[in-house]
């Protein structure tokens, strides 16, 4: 029988497994790299806490919600929250000594911090606010990040570390701003989730080595684009409609849709359209980091024709179609797309 004292010990131990401690444990030692990555993740967590705090009070403050009136490099209208969160990440990493380049959805060119650039430093790629259409209606949002080893000179945003395949990611993950704030990350040693305990101001471990179910009943896609897709994607969705047991879930923020799929299984799709064959999602700071998380959890991510990790980016803001989730569901979508070719 477990005694009350043992239970208390267990609860205390869990409360003490903070994110930075967990990263150190992942590397089973205190090597320089383990220390760096732990410090780096601590900064990502700080950015998450700042964004979460801002979001939680957004409706109470003047001038925080709505559009700035600007259009970003993607041709999308920028929200004040996008700018705030983008600046939070810059501010957090400026004097960190850890990150040499920051590249984000909201910046045409990477933000370069020369004093942080001795050999062995890192590059951070991020989507500061994912699902920004949810901002003004108090719905779930996310931030996505990927860590790479700094490599090569940055010539017009074309440094080697920026324009290489997904397997060059050292770590990746997301922060989900939902009813609670969660952080999910991988450093190539499984996928782990943390919940922000507001009373401690710390992300506390909630689940280690998360495994995505091999199949699931959720399909998550914007069916408003039905007639813009290629016929094979339409055929897949018709198949889902005809087959008993599927449920549609689509929130407008892929971080929350993919988090649901990580936990419960299923598939998220953002296929290309006839007008935009590459779709909407950006490879380097949306698709590839989420692919890393899902692959580490035992799932798959593909464009429908090739593994997301095999896509060689030609430019920083490159887009790719994305089909991601449980391996059986992803294989089913692929079979429709490849049979249509």
- Which one of ligand AHG, Mn ion, none is in contact with 202 (Cβ closer than 5 to 8 A by kind)? none
Give the shortest CB-222-to-ligand AHG separation in angstroms: 3
Distance from C-alpha of 16 to C-alpha of 21, rounded to nearest angstrom: 8
Sign of the CA dihedral 31, 35, 40, 42? positive
Nearer to ligand AHG, 86 or 232 (CB): 86
Nearer to ligand AHG, 19 or 88 (CB): 88
For 60, phi and psi rounded to 5 degrees? Answer: -100, -10
Largest CA distance in the chain: 64
Angle subtended at Cα 170 by Cα 188 and Cα 53, rounded to the nearest 5 degrees: 95
Nearer to Mn ion, 177 or 236 (CB): 177
SS3 168: helix
Distance from C-alpha of 324 to C-alpha of 308, rounded to nearest angstrom: 9
- Residues of this chain that interact with ligand AHG (CB under 6 A) are 76, 105, 127, 130-132, 222, 252-254, 280
The answer to the question of residue 230 lying near Mn ion (CB under 5 A) is no
Q: Which residues pair with 186 in a beta bridge?
A: 172, 191
- Which one of Mn ion, ligand AHG, none is in contact with 252 (Cβ closer than 5 to 8 A by kind)? ligand AHG
Binding residues for Mg(2+): 105, 127, 129-130, 286
Size, binding site for Mn ion by CB under 5 A? 4
- Which one of Mn ion, ligand AHG, none is in contact with 319 (Cβ closer than 5 to 8 A by kind)? none
Give the shortest CB-127-to-ligand AHG separation in angstroms: 5
Q: Which residues pair with 14 in a beta bridge?
A: none
Binding residues for substrate: 130-133, 222, 250, 280
Polymer length of the chain: 341
Nearer to ligand AHG, 76 or 278 (CB): 76
159 Cβ contact partners less than 8 Å away, ≥ 6 residues apart? 101, 110, 123, 150, 151, 152, 153
CB atoms within 10 A of CB 43: 17
Q: Assess contact for 79 and 63: CB atoms under 8 A.
A: no
Give the shortest CB-190-to-ligand AHG separation in angstroms: 24
- Which one of Mn ion, ligand AHG, none is in contact with 222 (Cβ closer than 5 to 8 A by kind)? ligand AHG
Give the shortest CB-192-to-ligand AHG separation in angstroms: 22
Binding residues: 105, 127, 129-133, 222, 250, 280, 286
Distance from C-alpha of 69 to C-alpha of 185, rounded to nearest angstrom: 33
Distance from C-alpha of 182 to C-alpha of 205, rounded to nearest angstrom: 10
Give the shortest CB-220-to-ligand AHG separation in angstroms: 8
Nearer to ligand AHG, 23 or 290 (CB): 290
Site for Mn ion in 84-113 (CB under 5 A): 105
Distance from C-alpha of 105 to C-alpha of 38, rounded to nearest angstrom: 24
Nearer to Mn ion, 145 or 236 (CB): 145
- Which one of ligand AHG, Mn ion, none is in contact with 280 (Cβ closer than 5 to 8 A by kind)? ligand AHG
For 2, phi and psi rounded to 5 degrees? Answer: -80, 130
Nearer to Mn ion, 129 or 184 (CB): 129
Distance from C-alpha of 80 to C-alpha of 58, rounded to nearest angstrom: 11
Give the shortest CB-224-to-ligand AHG separation in angstroms: 7
Nearer to Mn ion, 105 or 257 (CB): 105
For 112, phi and psi rounded to 5 degrees? Answer: -105, 130
- Which one of Mn ion, ligand AHG, none is in contact with 334 (Cβ closer than 5 to 8 A by kind)? none
Q: In the set 51, 122, 130, 293, which binds Mn ion (CB under 5 A)?
A: 130
The answer to the question of residue 161 lying near Mn ion (CB under 5 A) is no
State the residues that interact with Mn ion by CB under 5 A. Answer: 105, 127, 129-130
């Amino acid at each position: 029988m477990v005694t009350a004292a043992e239970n208390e010990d267990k609860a205390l131990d869990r409360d003490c497994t903070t994110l930075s401690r967990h990263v150190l444990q992942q590397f089973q030692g205190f090597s320089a790299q383990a220390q760096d990555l732990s410090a780096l993740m601590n900064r990502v967590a700080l950015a998450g806490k700042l964004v979460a705090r801002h979001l939680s009070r957004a409706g109470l403050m003047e001038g925080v919600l709505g559009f700035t009136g600007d259009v970003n490099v993607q041709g999308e209208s920028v929200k004040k929250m996008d700018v705030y969160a983008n600046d939070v990440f810059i501010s957090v990493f400026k004097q960190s000594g850890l990150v040499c380049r920051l590249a984000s959805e909201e910046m045409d060119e990477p933000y370069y911090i020369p004093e942080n650039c001795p050999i062995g430093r890192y590059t951070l790629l991020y989507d500061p606010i994912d699902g920004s259409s949810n901002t003004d209606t108090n719905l779930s949002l996310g931030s996505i990040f990927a860590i790479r080893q700094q490599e090569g000179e940055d010539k017009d945003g074309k440094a080697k570390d920026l324009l290489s395949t997904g397997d060059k990611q050292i770590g990746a993950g997301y922060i989900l701003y939902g009813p609670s704030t969660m952080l999910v990350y991988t450093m190539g040693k499984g996928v782990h989730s943390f919940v922000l305990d507001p009373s401690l101001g710390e992300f506390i471990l909630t689940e280690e080595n998360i495994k995505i179910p091999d199949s699931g009943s959720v399909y998550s896609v914007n069916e408003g684009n039905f007639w813009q897709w290629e016929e094979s994607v339409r055929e897949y969705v018709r198949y889902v409609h005809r087959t008993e047991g599927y449920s549609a879930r689509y929130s407008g923020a892929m971080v929350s849709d993919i988090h649901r799929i990580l936990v419960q299984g299923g598939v998220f799709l953002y296929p290309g359209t006839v007008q935009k064959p590459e779709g909407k999602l950006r490879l380097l700071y949306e698709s590839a980091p989420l692919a890393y998380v899902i692959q580490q959890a035992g799932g798959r991510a593909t464009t429908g024709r090739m593994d997301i990790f095999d896509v060689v980016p030609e430019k920083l803001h490159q887009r790719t179609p994305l089909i991601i989730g449980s391996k059986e569901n992803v294989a089913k979508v692929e079979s429709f797309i490849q049979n249509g070719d």
